[in-house]
Amino acid sequence: MPLGSAGLFQESHFGSQQGGAPVSLWLADSLARTPAAPPQDWRSRLRDWADEVELVPDLGQRIGSLTWFRGLATCFGLCATALYLSPGFRPVPGFSGARLSDAHYDEVRSQMITPLALGADSGHRMGPSDAVQPLRETPERPQIALNAQVGSSDTLPRALSRAGVSGGDVATIMAMVGADIAGGVKPGTRLDIILGRRASRDRPRPLDRLAFRARLDLSVELSRAGGALSVKRIPIRVDNTPLRIQGLVGDSIYRSARAAGAPPKAVQAFLRVIAGQVDLGGIAAGDRYDIVTDYHRAETGDVEVGDLLYAGLKRARGKSVDMLKWTKDGRTEWFEASGVGERRGVLSSPVAGHMSSGFGMRRHPILGYTRMHAGIDFAARYGSPIYAVTDGVISYAGRHGGHGNYVRIEHGGGLATGYAHMSRIAAAPGQRVRRGQVIGYVGSTGLSTGPHLHYELYRGGRVVNPLSVKFTTTAQLAGSELAAFRAKLAQYQGLRVGLHDSFAQKASAAPVAQGK
């Protein structure tokens, strides 16, 4: 019988007072009544051992201990077992059908839509019967109507030939309407073609009718009568009034102008012109833009947007802009309202970089002795574009001794500039370049220790300090030309804003002109 610790203490104390015999009897009796533990089998012992031993420890803790190595061994054992028992990557064998013969393939293909796409070339015919009689020849369609289109890099003769028009008819068409399409047919022009009955199977079908839009203001129709083609020209009225768009600048001048109806081409040209006069980042909300662009609208609804004609910007703070496109001495450029044109010939920086070496005597970094440095160096990243500092003509472009890849530009008046150590040249001798045009890229060819631009300026064939020469040529209008310029400016500034229909105010269309 189990006893608590207090009872055992009392029993022992009592036994000690009586001489100790009762204690011995009590222990013997307790042992006799306690059942013996049954012997454990091997499964229980294995289970107890597995509970005591940690076979899968955390390999991130107690690194280097016996338990850690035991876990590492367990990990390798599991990986090896998985690899050993893996099925592998070999293909699973399966049944594959026999390859169809040509006859069987045609039989199967005749049941699909493929033969129709290939012109029904499967060879199957309707089975002969009393209701079926073979034809000596199949009848032809009397006419074939086609719709073709002129591609982006296409021409009218090529588009007609591709549509099936014979070479003789194409030559006749071009002889009749060649003057009407001297500038080429606009890409996307639709061609309505009707081909007639051919005289025999070995001859192409003749052209019975052709209609297309030759220009915005002219539609052309050709038809065959009495075996010969005749042309009918249909003039289309066109409103050539320039389009004027005005509005307030919001978050973005581009989005504001587009929302007001300005064509994307006109807005982009407007921003380029304005950027040459003011900083676009300084244009604030509330400034007013004024755009006038060449605009042609036919009575059929077709529209052609031309070049930007006038760019104006009225600013609440800062310089306002009034720029008008004008042609002077065969050169078209932008003039301010006062008649002053663009500045040409202004020496600008040839590359986006800082000056690293000036003009004068210096110790050469490669040759090791002091000599004249006949130019200035600009430190720039390899491959940076190099620009022409002003307008001119390329007189030399190629390898030039210690200069490496070298370009020289003649600017007139005895002035010339040189650009050395290029990695690549983007200009050719005899080419005329404008100020800011890319002529090459920064490199380290020739006698150079690293990528940079060596820039030289020549006057009368002799090198001079590039920082000492600045010249400007500005176009200036005067006299009758200035009066005509101001009249055109007033005309654009007096235009009504937005589109307006002037067809109702014009006379009816001119009589149709016909010819052969």
pLDDT > 50? residue 515: no
- pLDDT confidence of 431, banded at 50, 70, 90? very high
Task: Give, to the nearest 10 degrees, the angle between helix 5-17 and helix 21-33.
Answer: 140
- Residues 427/394, Cβ–Cβ less than 8 Å: yes
pLDDT > 60? residue 33: no
The model's pTM is: 0.48
Mean per-residue pLDDT for 72-97?
83
Q: Which residue has the tokens 């190595």?
A: 69
* 503 or 92, which is more confident: 92
Q: How far apart are CA 28 and CA 13, in angstroms?
A: 17
Decide the pairing of beta strands 218-225 and 321-328. unpaired
pLDDT > 70? residue 61: yes
- Residues 269/263, Cβ–Cβ less than 8 Å: no
Torsion angle in degrees (nearest 10) through CA of 288, 293, 297, 303: -100
Mean per-residue pLDDT for 141-151?
88
- Residues 233/176, Cβ–Cβ less than 8 Å: no
Mean per-residue pLDDT for 29-34?
53
pLDDT > 80? residue 35: no
Given its phi and psi angles, is residue 404 left (phi above 0), alpha (psi -120 to 50 degrees) or beta? Answer: left
Mean per-residue pLDDT for 269-281?
84
Q: How far apart are CA 358 and CA 465, in angstroms?
A: 9
Q: How far apart are CA 216 and CA 303, in angstroms?
A: 8
Amino acid 321: pLDDT: 87
Amino acid 66: pLDDT: 84
C-alpha gyration radius of the chain: 48
Least confident of 84-98, 104-118, 422-436: 104-118
- pLDDT confidence of 23, banded at 50, 70, 90? very low
DSSP, collapsed to helix, strand or coil, labels residue 375 as coil
- pLDDT confidence of 393, banded at 50, 70, 90? very high
Mean per-residue pLDDT for 135-141?
76
Measure Cα distances from 247 to 125, 254, 286, 372 in Å.
71, 11, 9, 58
Amino acid 15: pLDDT: 43
pLDDT > 70? residue 466: yes
Decide the pairing of beta strands 438-442 and 385-387. antiparallel
Mean per-residue pLDDT for 253-267?
89
Amino acid 508: pLDDT: 44
Least confident of 121-135, 168-182, 300-314, 375-389: 121-135
- Residues 260/245, Cβ–Cβ less than 8 Å: yes
Amino acid 46: pLDDT: 76
How much is the mean pLDDT over the chain? 79
277-318 pLDDT, tens digit each: 888 888 888 889 999 999 888 888 888 888 999 999 998 887
Least confident of 52-66, 178-192, 365-379, 433-447: 365-379
Q: How far apart are CA 201 and CA 204, in angstroms?
A: 8
DSSP, collapsed to helix, strand or coil, labels residue 93 as coil
Q: How far apart are CA 376 and CA 464, in angstroms?
A: 10
